[in-house]
Structure 1
């Protein structure tokens, strides 16, 4: 998963940030308003004189408070005054509400709870009553408001009524709700996107706030990260080999405002190395100073480990080509497994005839971990542990907590085992071989770990000619099951009561039926079977249809297409339905396995061909080595020349591999052979000709010859100065009987004066012998005054 590609996550982060800023502005505006109460509220709070003395001024002030709904009542809560702001906020006009109870603006729930009465009583006792609640509008809708109720006094200092001041805060509350919703969506997106955690760095305060998941990856306690930690605390959790690079990237991003995009390692709270991908961005203030730096990290440890394991399998495959001894190969496999998994010990032991004594056969250990040697009595590790070995696979994350090993924890600890994986080979109910992986710390073994261990050990065991019967059977069954699920299968349904056979389109295709004519058991199924398989399949069907003891129907056979006459290999399986002692239905599936059968045959052919090719190649390499090293002026020159010739041979092999060693395009052979000589000389080294497919031997011969020609031209010929030119061309013309006439010409011009060599070297012999022999042509080398020329004429069977 890449944060750069997660547009939904980026959108939610931006939405969340915008809402947070909007809410901050609203809260600041509210705070400023709260610090400066309206003039009407100030006057009313301090007024303890008769309402009749300053009615005009009072009414003017009340009606001018446009941001506040101001409502006056008598001692019974009957509305006496209603300003314009009240009409605008609540929707009723003064004419509509004056004379009605103050309860009119409260919700039914609050009216039932006598909230308005409580406010009036509280204001009399305390001088004021403040609240924040939902109120009712004229249209039945609700709004959220901050309110304050105060008593009004007459000249005799006796309360004569109340005043209620409201400020609409609905937008603020809705913004808070929207922010919470946005945060919830953001968190869901983070979880769905495999986010490890998020952080928010306040550069002005020098603190980084992070969630628990982010903190754990950097080895920081969650409470410390939640309270805010310094940048250095998080950088301490970065792997030492990556810390300087990450620090520099953070510094640059905070100075420029460019996105921070980094991939690096960390040390988590359990001391494990994790790979993470971090993306964030620094926000600047109006003066261009960095103020805030939010971001997120993704745990990519799984992807990294998968890459390391793929590399390990490639290394193990390369060892097969070295023809090393079985014991050395097994040791390499164990070390590759141990180093890749980062465990303490990997090895295997054979179980002797008594079934309880295990003898260590081969083992790899990490630095500082003691090796296991000699023999061990498996009963010493507990009866439960010994009996569990017959299950084929045993994984224990923590020896001290697992019921199989907890009783023998000290025995395991004495040999540095805190967690383990055991894979056993069982024959006739007896454990014969134990492959083990030990770690000196608790470890949660994943399915990928188990699969990787199985793969490495399986390859090692196969190479040393030791077959693990039970494990091989389990893996084979798993592969067959997966292959069956993935394969395209056809279905059949045979109703024996009505004698009706139904095939789907794919099943019909496996019997080569092109039309949609009805099918029958005898006229279609038996008729479409290969004659050599017909009796055998008929007997299997009859045994399956036996209602008393139905046999399993799982069979492979051949068909001959009824309409297309094509031979196919089919695998079929099915089940029957028995009612009242009679078989009434037979249903199942069929799968075309023709390609698999043909693939087996091709594999045998390819194996034989590969052996032949390898032997021929080795013979050619030996010949080149003998001739090159024997004629070299000194060992260094000989080695360089040999390496160059082997490289040319390798390039030809690369081309042949692409076509399974069947043929190679002549243009590709020329290009690959001369590519190392062409940089800076593209206009001086050119070639042209039609596309001709060469066989494997011709491609190898031409590649070696071109290498020798180019090397000579670089040392002595047209490519040894700044003006020389080499032009290569070939043609192909049909001949009525003999096939096709091919010409090939290498011509140099503009180089130093050409002088014919006094004797032929290995290179010249290689050119003449290889081209003449493999192309069955006539080769001419001409050291003319206008430049060296190599020309060949041959007849091809193309």
Structure 2
């Protein structure tokens, strides 16, 4: 009837009509009928041509595809809904939520009913909403294929949590972006751990940045992973250039004499391989410019779980320590030399004092006084920054025993003059003997007597001459001694046992006068 009325071809719905096979079973078939009218001279429909097209493959294929799509969608929904640790949120192009999975409910606390139809910026922090971070994520997903998401977010109750995830665009069959998929995971605990490690790392850097020792962290094969500022100063390499370089090849590649140093012979490399520690090991490392530097190095291994993770090395520049040790050895040798000299002088003083003593009591008194004078001479030598003494200090110390008993009886005059070690001992003993004699027989034995000590340097000849003048006044008349004891002989010997210079002693009515002269170089000789 429809063809008669329209006189147009008519396509019928696909017909399901199975056909019988020769074995008696039926085979599924689908047919698409098409009727085409045939018109007569007057335009009336006089007959029909009926076509039938077998579309079984098309129908079965479509049905299979639909079944597969249904199964795929079911699997997708099952995966999405079972991912309770991941918030999977689909939004339209305006950011309105269209899908809110179980994971989103678990992570963000809102239900799907509360969020579907609402804008996704609801779980962003206020400061991120002001900064338009949600829009920036969508822009990144559109232009770069993804929008990174590593920041603080909000749960339903306002609690903040650290989320890690990304936003991706969803496209239709033609490739047009029709929606966005945002995936989030709560990583608050990991973030707090990372921040704690960062704080510990900052504290460690604060410590290592301010210690004087070079600190290196090595991985198991000896590659430098960390170097502090002291390592930069010690080795001359910027820290960033040290990182990634092999420790042995960089600073311990040679012996001090220039011979190559194989890594297998290096105690630090062996300790690193074996996971053992090294404590205060002396070595010679090399700076960037090739210059050697003596060091003391310690290496402590560390592990991550059961696995060896490398070692931490501390390196101390031993240059100053070695120099101080060498200087101490020089001082010790000099001290030993001085002690031998002192003991020799003490032995001579003791022997001569006892030989010339009238009795044991007077000998003990004289010996004690002479040893005190000798001790004062050495006190001056030890107190001075140089190897000698200063003439004023020497004179004051030599007569100090009597100056303390008889204050104001000595007058010291002369320029500041450095006196060498040997001259210090000789002059101290000479002045002590002169003061002792003055106290016993000369000007210091009376109430009005005094002593004048004058020191001068004359430069009339080829070389400067030192002159020390001892003058007594106000004492009793003095006469030359009838017998010369050790003190008199000591005075007469002057400097260096009388080999250089001379001593002139005169016994005048007003008191003793003694003039000691010597080349200035002899007095100043160290």
Q: TM-score, normalised by structure 1?
A: 0.34
Q: TM-score, normalised by structure 2?
A: 0.49
Point out the structure with max Rg over C-alpha. 2
Q: Which has the higher contact order (CA 8 A, sep 6+)?
A: 2
